[in-house]
Chains A and B, each alone.
Chain A
Amino acid sequence: DSGVTQTPKHLITATGQRVTLRCSPRSGDLSVYWYQQSLDQGLQFLIQYYNGEERAKGNILERFSAQQFPDLHSELNLSSLELGDSALYFCASSVGANTEAFFGQGTRLTVV
């Protein structure tokens, strides 16, 4: 158990809908990262937050957004969902902005 908690574990939703994925980082970790894992793209970095502020951005679509709250938990919002958004979404956390990150178990999103 990495100490990073993601909810829900599984999510099935229809195209066009909006979902929110939640991540609780390890105790004491200030940095949160979101990754998308799909069969054709592998693990792709989406976005990083450090102590509530956006720190780095990767290949995140405009339909996706994220935030980190004062209690350091983070949410990833996915809107206008498409079939191709079906993937595993991982959250990771680390103490600093450039230190070892620990991954959660992921949320499996299926868009039908």
Chain B
Amino acid sequence: GESVGLHLPTLSVQEGDNSIINCAYSNSASDYFIWYKQESGKGPQFIIDIRSNMDKRQGQRVTVLLNKTVKHLSLQIAATQPGDSAVYFCAENSGGSNYKLTFGKGTLLTVNP
């Protein structure tokens, strides 16, 4: 069945370092991918998205890379800050024209000051 999984359940980095969070997806038909950040007690917050016709997209301090050949997504956070500490989810749109997101299990990012 469809599944989105994460290689690392936890990641601990020093403030100022770059962080890389990885994600594998299994549905080769998925055409839209999103990274969400979830802080304790809050709902998932959109970070960045990428469509399957792209392999890289950059935002403010974040970059998403998509490798369709190996069905792999990564989220790079530059100059990680304590405020970046949260659980990060990758999600794929498995609903075609509908927004039916399949979420990975999440990676807990801890930024040490």
Contacts and interface: CB of A to CB of B under 8 A. Distances in A.
Interface in A73-112: 90, 92, 94, 97-106
B89 A56 contact: no
A103 B103 CA distance: 14
Contact of B101 (A2, A4, A101, A102): A101
Q: Tell me which of A43, A55, A99 has the highest count of chain B C-beta atoms within 10 A of its own C-beta.
A: A43
Interface stretch (B22-30, B53-61, B90-98): B90-98
A45 interface: yes
Given A42-B103, A98-B93, A56 B43 contact: no
B100 interface: yes
**Chain B interface residue number, banded:** 20 to 34
A31 interface: yes
Nearest to A105: B43
B98 A97 contact: yes
A98 B44 contact: no
Contacts, number: 68
Contact of A42 (B41, B49, B99, B106): B106
Nearest to A102: B46
Interface residues of A, number: 27
Interface string B69-113: 000000000000000000001010101111111111110000000
Interface of A: 2, 4, 31, 33, 35, 42-45, 48, 50, 55-56, 58, 90, 92, 94, 97-106
Given A97-B99, A99-B99, A105-B43, 17 more contacts: A33-B99, A42-B103, A42-B104, A43-B89, A43-B91, A48-B95, A56-B95, A56-B99, A90-B43, A92-B43, A92-B44, A97-B98, A98-B32, A98-B97, A104-B43, A105-B41, A106-B42
16 contacts: A35-B103, A42-B106, A43-B89, A44-B103, A45-B100, A48-B95, A50-B98, A92-B43, A94-B99, A98-B32, A100-B34, A100-B46, A102-B46, A103-B43, A103-B45, A105-B43
Lowest 8 CB-CB distances: which A-B pairs, in order?
A: A103-B43, A43-B103, A56-B98, A56-B100, A103-B44, A42-B105, A56-B95, A55-B98
